[in-house]
Amino acid sequence: MIDAISIALIIVGALFFLAGSAGVLRFPDVYTRLHALTKADNLGLGFVVLGLSLRADSWVVVLKMLIIWALVIVAGATAGHLVAEAARTSHVVPWRRRS
């Protein structure tokens, strides 16, 4: 039973990684792609960490994965901000939908 829940969570996580990658390929400019990378991948990693935690041998391993998740969230959000700021200060024009 626990194995089934764990596998389901990991698959959901993988689907978010897939959707994030689809966003990086399909979205039109650097800014929109950063949205896909930072948000979808963090959530995907969260589901993978939850799924793996159910199968972990000890609490230290669970704690380790939670810390890695937290560090990835902080690093991802900060890196996204810096890439967007670099693009903005070098005058990369954001894509707009024609109306």
Partner 1 sequence: MPTRELASRIDRIVQLLQRVVIFAVLWWVIAEADPDGWLFGVPFVALAVVASLGLTPSRTWRIDPPGALKYAWYFVTQSFLGGIDVALRAIRPSLPLDPMIVRYRMRLAPEHARVLFADTVSLLPGTLSTGFEDDSLTLHVLDCELPIEQSLRDVEERVAGVFGLTLSSEGGDLRVCETLTGDECE
Give the span between the Cα atoms of 27 and 89, in whole angstroms: 21
- Which amino acid is located at 31 in the chain? Y
Chain residues 34-53 in contact with partner 1, contact rule CB under 8 A: 34-36, 38-40, 42-44
Q: Minimal distance in Å, beta carbon 44 to partner 1?
A: 7
**CA distances, 17 to each of 14, 38, 98 (Å):** 5, 10, 29
Rounded distance, CA 34 to CA 45, Å?
Answer: 16
Out of 8, 11, 55, 95, point to the residue binding partner 1 (CB under 8 A).
95
Positions touching partner 1 (CB under 8 A) are 15-16, 19-20, 22-23, 26-28, 31-32, 34-36, 38-40, 42-44, 60-61, 63-64, 67-68, 73-74, 77-78, 80-81, 84-85, 87-89, 91-97
